[in-house]
Amino acid sequence: RRNEEAAAEYYRLAANQGLAKAQFNFALCCTNGWGVPKNESKAVQLYRAAADQGFPGAEYEVGMRYVLGKGVPEDESIAARWFERAGNQGHAMAQTNLGIMYFEGAGVEKNIEKCLYWYRKAAKGGSATAQNNLGDMFENATGVDLDLEKAKEYYKDAALNGHTRASERLVALGGTLPSK
């Protein structure tokens, strides 16, 4: 506990100097109560300060707060803009969320091509959810031609990344589970 308090204090001091990574890390402390009392409004301020400097993890966190309405009003269209900023810098979870948003038309106009674009980027970045969702799209011919071999490839990648449902779909399609 004492180490958490010391770490939080060092992050706070560095955050006050305007260092984006420190702002992000101190925001995590405030979000989770690591070494400081939980304080979501302070966390949002810090995530936003780091995001305004282009820190992708903070951009993602700001987006999540808008999705969840946590410390800010719920607004999926604002969330999508933050996810796109983080996604353009290679943040796989932001890319996955954008893919989902384009698939569902949540906060953005439904667009399967953009959904595929973001899922593919996220899948290359190791997102098991994006890999699984691409597997679903190829298995069910959703916005793409039916391609069970491609579906199995994506499911296999997702299974390697610990996605249980992808493992089940892979086996159901006659594929074999990868060994780690």
Q: Is the dihedral of CA 171, 175, 179, 180 positive or negative?
A: negative
Its pTM surpasses 0.95 = no
CA distance 58 to 43: 10
- Helix-helix angle 92-104:112-124, to 10 degrees: 160
Cβ partners under 8 Å of residue 77, min gap 6: 107, 108
pLDDT for 64 equals 97
Please write the tens of the pLDDT for every residue from 53-110: 999 999 999 999 999 999 999 999 999 999 999 999 999 999 999 999 999 999 999 9
Average confidence (pLDDT) over 17-32 = 97
How far apart, in whole angstroms, are the C-alpha atoms of residue 59 and residue 86? 5
